[in-house]
Every structure is written in structure tokens, then in C-alpha cells.
Amino acid sequence: MKSRTLMRLALTALLSFSAVTNVFAEDGPAKQLFGAVKLPTLGAPQSAGFYAKGCLAGGVALPVNGPTWQVMRLSRNRNWGHPRMIALLERLSRDAAAKDGWPGLLVGDISQPRGGPMLTGHASHQVGLDADIWLTPMPNYRFTNDQREKVEARSMLKGDTLYVDPNRWTPAHAALLKRAASYDEVERIFVHPGIKKKLCETVQGDRSWMAKIRPYWGHFYHFHVRIKCQPGSPNCKPQEPIGTSDGCDKSLAWWFTDEPWRKAPEPEKPVKPKIMMLSDLPKACAQILDAPGPQSADQVTYGLGAKAAAGSDVPAVVPDQPSAVPLPKQRTKTK
């Protein structure tokens, strides 16, 4: 009897060890796991975790072409987001074209199909609530897929300085940022410090919207829109409130000192970079990574098979037909 009991205990321990090793076998570098997934999960949208440490369920795609927007860098497959983010981008594109003289948006990275860390680039954009928009207006023709990979966004800065080039910046740029900041769901908009300074020096009248315009490294050829954690996402971790100051104070002046741009000292000993593992993300992310997805991208493209989340005040917009937009003419290469 005693020998049989010991045998059962040993067998139980062996099975438990096998289960644990299986859990670890499923773990891996999060950016590689999420970067390999081509389609989102089905079901209700939910952002899990923080903007820079999380994932996304129920994401939908922004159509690559619309009447007032085009998605750039299609090979990255980063035109996915929470339905409320995708709805907001379409709304912004329409409002800016109709009211602010901005012909259309060139949309950069939003999120991967299931969010998570990216193979290249951003630390954030992980929960479907961030989007990059170029400060270059959409042309009056449709880019080919190849052009979307190669065309360069235009910097708003003057040479290698921290200041905006007055020959590039226009009132329409300021109007576009103000329009984006006017939406209640938008929490922050990141821009280069030089752009924030330009707004501080030129905006007249109501400046309350400028509290949302936050200076940050980079962001001289695009601006970064971040919306709040949305209803139905209890595990979404919000940021601290931004306050009501227009930000044209000492906090902005700091960016024009040496401190923000000073190179960090080299460590005495080489430091191995920490790799974010799947197990480092919220527990829900492992389930989201393994959840079933749709049969095709069309099924989960906003305005085609997918709709906005409940409560959205933005109607779906079906993209125009390819024949409605002329293809660009061939141009000779110039230096």
C-alpha cells in the first residue's frame, strides 16, 4: 500500500513538472510572438495593460484607402486598433478636410493586429489606442503600395535645429492639431518640442486644447494621437491626468536646454538589454495571442465587416472604389 502511494505521488509530481515546463515552453519574446500574428481576435474589443506594455483583443483595421485618408507603410501591418481609435481617425480625416483645409491624412503606425510589442520602432502602440499621423498632407492622387513604402514624410524642423521651419509650417498644421485635440476621447498628442514652442508663440484665443499637446523626442514629421482607455476594457491601465496648463512654461523651456539631449554615459560593464517576454505582459495577453481569429482581413476591416464599438458616435465609412482616385503620374528622380 505504501509503495503504491509513493508511486502515485511520484507520478503526480512528474505530471505537475510537465505542466510547468509546457507553460514555459509557450513563453517567448513578446515582440516576435505578436509581430508574427497577421489577424486580430474575434469578439468584443478590449485593451489589456498599459500603452507600452499590453495587447489588444477585438481590433479592427483602418481601410488602406478612404476619401480623406491613406495608410502608409502597408508592409508593417500596423493599421489595426481599437474600433474607437479607428472611428476617430476617420472622423478626424473628414472634419479636417471639411473645416480646416487639410486635404487628407497620411496614417502611419497604429497597432499590430493583436497589439503587443513591435519588432521595430515604438515602445507604445501596444493596446490599440495610439496612432501616428504624418504632418505631410495627403496628395490629390492615390499612392501605389510601393510608393507607400518609399515616400518620405517631411520634417517640420529647420535643418538640424530644434525649431520649426517657418517655410514648412502653416496655419493648417496648427488647425489639424487643434482639431485632433478637440475630441473628448483624445487624451494626449505628442509632438516635437519645437512644434509645441511654435504653437505657444502663435496660437491666439482659446488655448485650453494645448494642454493635450505634449512635447517629446522625435515627432518632427508626424504627431502621435493617444486616446483614453475605453469602456469594456477593465484591465486597461490609464495614464495620469494631464492637468489644465497650456504647457508653455518651464516644462517646455527644459527641452531647449542641454539636458534632454545629453548622451547617457557608457556603463562600466556591458549591460545585456532586457527582452520583454510574453510572461511579462498582462495574463490576458497569452489568451489573446492564442484566441481564434477571422477568416480574412475584410471581415474585420472597419466599414466593411467591422463596426465601431458600442457607443461610438462615428458612423462607418466605406472606402471609395479604386477607380475613383487617379493613380500618380511617373516622376523623374531628382536629387
pLDDT of 46 over the 60 cut: yes
- What pLDDT, on the 0 to 100 scale, is given for residue 198? 98
CA distances from 127 to 111, 131, 133, 276 (A): 7, 11, 17, 15
How many angstroms separate the CA atoms of 111 and 176, rounded? 22
**Cβ atoms 224, 189 nearer than 8 A:** yes
Q: Report the predicted TM-score, pTM, of the whole model to 2 decimal places.
A: 0.83
- Please state whether 31 falls in left (phi above 0), alpha (psi between -120 and 50) or beta: alpha
If DSSP codes are grouped into helix, strand and coil, which group holds residue 191? strand
- What pLDDT, on the 0 to 100 scale, is given for residue 26? 80
If DSSP codes are grouped into helix, strand and coil, which group holds residue 275? coil
Q: Give me the residue spans of the domains in the chain.
A: 47-260+275-310
**Cβ atoms 227, 85 nearer than 8 A:** yes
What's the whole-number average pLDDT of the chain? 86
CA distances from 321 to 65, 141, 222 (A): 9, 13, 27
Of 37-46, 153-162, 295-304, 326-335, which gets the smallest average pLDDT?
326-335
Cell 483645409 belongs to residue: 101
CATH number for 47-260+275-310: choose from 2.30.30.90, 3.20.20.80, 3.40.430.10, 3.30.1380.10.
3.30.1380.10
Q: Residue 37, Cβ neighbours under 10 Å: how many?
A: 18
**pLDDT-based confidence at 332, cuts 50/70/90?**
very low
Average pLDDT value for residue range 301-317: 56
**pLDDT-based confidence at 268, cuts 50/70/90?**
confident
Average pLDDT value for residue range 12-17: 33
- What pLDDT, on the 0 to 100 scale, is given for residue 6? 35
